Amino acid sequence: MHTIIRDTLTDSQAYLGNFLSDETNIQAIADAAEVLIAALSQDKAIYSCGNGGSMSDAMHFAEELTGRYRDNRAALSATAISDPGHISCVANDFGYEHIFSRYLQGRARSGDCLLAISTSGTSKNVIRAAEYARESGIAVVSLTGKPGSELGTLATVDISAGASRYADRVQEVHIKIIHILIELIERRFFPENYPSAQG
């Protein structure tokens, strides 16, 4: 059992190391943060979506912005598309691939931003949401696995964790990216919470 644990942690470390070693990934995170900050700077809203574990990540992202990440500060406008009433209604009446785009149609406006999460980059409902967003003047930040995915090509900024045989490695990097994005947003709007911050 100890060997399995060590092997798993070592594999995770190596996967993260590969991501960290590529400067384009660092730049993509910085670019994505600027897109999110731009929306909030204009009093616009951020929406997030994903399936399964990615929905959990989308919810985690939104609640950290409306609640807090590290220290107390004002709430920021963020909503995860995760309401079960909406999802079950739209899935039943229109089809599951419409659950996110239909929500954006009812709530989002030009200038808002969508954080679209899909480890495969091929989730039809997330892709449809990104397509609707692009058509409606809504910026898209995508978190994906393998670069060049269908979702990634639709995004204003795509952050690809890197190809992996299993989704859990991708998700581990996604949650780290999400935490970094939140911190970068906080640092821009609430610098007093980071008194020793540099750059």
Give residue-wise pLDDT tens across range 40-68: 999 999 999 999 999 999 999 999 999 99
pLDDT in tens, 60-107: 999 999 999 999 999 999 999 999 999 999 999 999 999 999 999 999
With bands split at pLDDT 50, 70 and 90, how would you rate the model's confidence at 166? confident
CA distance 37 to 151: 21
**Which pTM does this prediction carry?**
0.95
Closest CA to 9 of 174, 169, 177: 169
> If phi over 0 gives left and psi between -120 and 50 gives alpha, with beta otherwise, what is residue 109?
beta
**Superfamily for the 12-191 domain:** Glucose-6-phosphate isomerase like protein; domain 1 (3.40.50.10490)
Tell me the CA distances in angstroms from 4 to 7, 13, 91, one per residue in order. 5, 14, 40
Whether the predicted pLDDT of 197 surpasses 70: no
State the helix-helix crossing angle for 167-189 and 23-41, rounded to 10 degrees: 50
Residue 1: predicted pLDDT: 96
Of residues 31 and 166, the one with the higher pLDDT is 31
Rounded to the nearest angstrom, the gap between the alpha carbon of residue 134 and the centroid of all alpha carbons in its chain is: 16
- Residue-wise burial string across 160-197, b where 16 or more C-beta atoms lie within 10 A, e elsewhere: bbbebeebebbbebbeebbebbbbbbbeeebeebeeee
Domain extent listing, the chain: 12-191
Q: What is the largest CA-CA distance in the chain?
A: 52
pLDDT in tens, 22-44: 999 999 999 999 999 999 999 99
pLDDT > 90: percent of the chain: 94
